[in-house]
Amino acid sequence: MSVSDPHLALFPRGLSAGSKLLIYLLLSIAVITADTEFHALNRFRAAVNVLLYPLQNIVQTPWLTYNRVTSFFVKQAQLQRENSALRQSFIQYSLSTQRYAILEQENQRLRTLFRLQQHLPLSTQAAEILSIPRDPYQHQFTLNRGSAQGVQSGQAIIDETGLLGQVTRVYPYSSDVTLVTNKDQSVPVLVQRTGLRAVLFGTGVDGLTEIRYLPHNTDIRNGDLLVTSGLDGVYPAGLAVARVIQADTGGSSAFATILCKPVGAIDYHRLVLIVATPASDGVKH
């Protein structure tokens, strides 16, 4: 049976701490030198890397996943902002293009009306349509010219293609126009081909008028142009009004059925000409 010696416990045998530190330093220097000069630890380093690679992936997976998710949402938000900005720019560009096209059309129309004014042997002034009633059966519109500009009730309204209607109500700075398609409107006309006189009535239907009370043996055909006769003292003579689109002279009714389409661009433009009546004819505006 061994008995522990108290002197061994107080004075242990072995290397001192300084010796151990020196040995560790020499080993470190030897390992560094061998790795630097002879690349002795490359295989060891590679083996350690292979062993630690799965652990590194496990440790980095949450962080990588977080970065990817965060980056995805950031990119989505950025793409949405860019998409919204591009869409707004596209809308503004489209509006500018539309406005340019409208202005170009109005400019061309102004030139056409100006040339018409120069060639018409009538006193006229240009006007712009301000508003159109919501009720499509009224067949009216409002102009931006009134009594302050010399407009009078009964004056004819035309465009470059023909008669549109006449002024029926005048205010100081605006006036109401009733179209030839209004069911209460009638225009004395004559057939340009034959000189036949007739009266054109509105039907209350867009783009449609009719001639009434002509006998079946009347010489009138599809395509005949109707112009104002000037016999009523309201409309100047020679203004194109409508073109015959259906001439039924063989029906069983008492009179021929003659439907006509107005030649004026009633539903397409904003600029028109107001024609002075013979009594108020003066200097051309």
pLDDT tens for 95-109 read 777 766 766 766 676
Alpha-carbon gap, residue 242 to 263, rounded angstroms: 5
Domain termination site, one of 119, 147, 162 = 119
Alpha-carbon gap, residue 136 to 179, rounded angstroms: 12
- Residue 104 and residue 239 in one domain: no
Q: What's this model's pTM, rounded to 2 decimal places?
A: 0.60
Tell whether 3 is covered by a domain: no
Highest averaged pLDDT of the listed ranges 20-24, 63-67, 224-228: 224-228
- Residue 131 and residue 272 in one domain: yes
Number of domains in the chain: 2
* Residue 124 CB-density burial (10 A; 0-12 exposed, 13-18 middle, 19+ buried): buried
pLDDT of the residue at 39: 67
Which domain covers residue 247, as residue numbers?
124-280
Contact between residue 146 and residue 175 where contact means Cβ atoms under 8 Å apart: yes
- Residue 203 and residue 184 in one domain: yes
- Residue 147 and residue 66 in one domain: no
Mean pLDDT of 49-73: 76
- Residue 114 and residue 135 in one domain: no
User: Residues near 249 by Cβ (< 8 Å), separated by ≥ 6?
Assistant: 216, 217, 218, 220, 256
Mean pLDDT of 119-146: 84
